[in-house]
C-alpha cells in the first residue's frame, strides 16, 4: 500500500477495490465516488459485500487491491505486499471517517458523556474542558443531553445508538459511515436513530449508509447502489434504483418493500391535503 497526501476534499473515491476471504471473493473491482455533502445508500441482500465495503473504507478490513481516497488521503493496495501505514498516519486516516456499527460498541464502564469525550481527549489530545463542552453539545444535538451521566446499561437501544453517533461526530470526521445502524433495534426505536441521520443529511454531512430501511434510503439518499455477489449491480438516484430499477435482481429485491413505499406515499399525500 502506498500513501500520499491529497488536497483537502471531504469526499470518497474508490477505484477497483477487491477483497477475498479464504479464496471467496467478496468485493469484485468496486469503483464509485461520493461527492461532498452527498448521501449514498448501499442496499442489497445479506452477503452481497456491503458491510465489507464499508469496513474497507476505514481499514477495519484491509482490501486486497484497488485504491481508496477519503478526505485528505489516498491509499493504494497491493495484495500480500500491502502494509498498514504508521500508527500516526492510520489514526489520521481513520479520523476522516466516523463509523457507527450495528451493536453500538460503547464503553460500558463510561457514561454517555465520557464515551463521547474519549476520542477527542485520547486521540486528538483535546483539553478535557473543551472536550466536555463539545460532547455536551453533541449529546444535545442527538437529543440526549439529559442522559449525559447515564451508563450504557441504563439506556435503550436507540439511545445507545444515538450516543454512538455523537461519539463518532466528536472526532469531527469529513465522512460518516453507518453499517446497519438500526438493525439491532426494536422497531419502535428505529425512528429516533433515523431522525438523527436525516438531520445530518440536511446539514450536508457526507455519508454512506448500509441499510435495509429501503423507504428511508429512498427518502434521504442522493444516490443508491444495489450490490449483489460483490459487484455493483445498479447505481443511480433513488428515483431509478428504487422506484424504477433496470436490473432484474434489483427489481426483485426492492419489490419486497413496495407496500411500505405505497404507505409512505399515501401519508405524504394526506399531509399535503
Instruction: Give 10-residue mean pLDDT values along the chain (273 residues).
Output: 45 93 93 93 94 91 91 80 72 84 91 96 93 97 96 95 96 92 88 94 94 92 95 95 94 82 55 48
Query: What pLDDT does 81 receive?
Result: 59
Q: Give the global pTM.
A: 0.88
DSSP 60: S
CA distance 121 to 114: 10
Contact 155, 163 (CB under 8 A): yes
Query: What pLDDT does 20 receive?
Result: 94
Query: What pLDDT does 104 receive?
Result: 86
DSSP 80: G
Query: What pLDDT does 6 receive?
Result: 47
Query: What pLDDT does 82 receive?
Result: 65
Query: What pLDDT does 75 receive?
Result: 87
Domain ranges of the chain: 2-96+173-272
Query: What pLDDT does 95 receive?
Result: 80
CATH for 2-96+173-272 (3.40.190.10, 1.10.760.10, 3.40.50.300, 1.10.150.20): 3.40.50.300
Query: What pLDDT does 197 receive?
Result: 95
CA distance 138 to 175: 16
Amino acid at each position: 500500500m502506498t500513501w500520499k497526501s491529497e488536497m483537502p476534499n471531504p469526499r470518497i473515491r474508490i477505484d477497483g477495490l477487491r477483497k477475498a476471504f479464504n479464496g471467496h471473493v467478496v468485493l469484485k473491482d468496486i469503483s464509485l465516488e461520493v461527492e461532498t455533502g452527498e448521501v449514498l445508500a448501499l442496499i442489497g441482500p445479506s452477503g452481497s459485500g456491503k458491510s465489507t465495503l464499508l469496513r474497507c473504507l476505514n481499514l477495519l478490513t484491509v482490501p486486497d487491491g484497488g485504491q481508496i481516497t477519503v478526505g485528505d488521503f489516498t491509499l493504494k493496495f497491493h495484495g500480500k505486499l500491502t502494509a498498514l501505514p504508521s500508527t500516526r498516519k492510520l489514526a489520521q486516516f481513520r479520523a476522516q471517517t466516523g463509523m457507527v456499527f450495528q451493536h453500538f460498541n460503547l464503553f460500558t464502564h463510561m457514561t454517555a458523556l465520557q464515551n463521547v469525550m474519549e476520542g477527542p481527549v485520547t486521540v486528538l489530545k483535546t483539553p478535557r474542558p473543551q472536550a466536555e463542552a463539545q460532547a455536551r453539545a453533541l449529546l444535545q444535538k442527538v437529543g440526549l443531553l439529559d442522559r449525559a451521566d447515564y451508563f450504557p446499561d441504563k439506556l435503550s437501544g436507540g439511545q445507545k445508538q444515538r450516543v454512538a453517533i455523537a461519539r463518532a461526530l466528536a472526532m469531527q470526521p469529513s465522512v460518516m459511515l453507518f453499517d446497519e445502524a438500526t438493525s439491532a433495534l426494536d422497531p419502535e426505536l428505529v425512528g429516533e436513530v433515523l431522525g438523527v441521520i436525516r438531520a445530518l443529511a440536511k446539514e450536508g454531512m457526507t455519508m454512506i449508509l448500509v441499510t435495509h430501511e429501503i423507504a428511508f434510503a429512498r427518502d434521504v439518499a442522493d444516490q443508491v447502489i444495489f450490490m449483489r455477489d460483490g459487484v455493483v449491480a445498479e447505481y443511480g438516484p433513488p428515483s431509478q434504483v428504487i422506484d424504477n430499477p433496470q436490473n432484474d435482481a434489483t427489481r426483485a429485491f426492492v419489490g419486497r418493500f413496495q407496500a411500505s413505499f405505497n404507505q409512505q406515499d399515501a401519508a405524504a399525500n394526506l399531509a399535503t391535503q
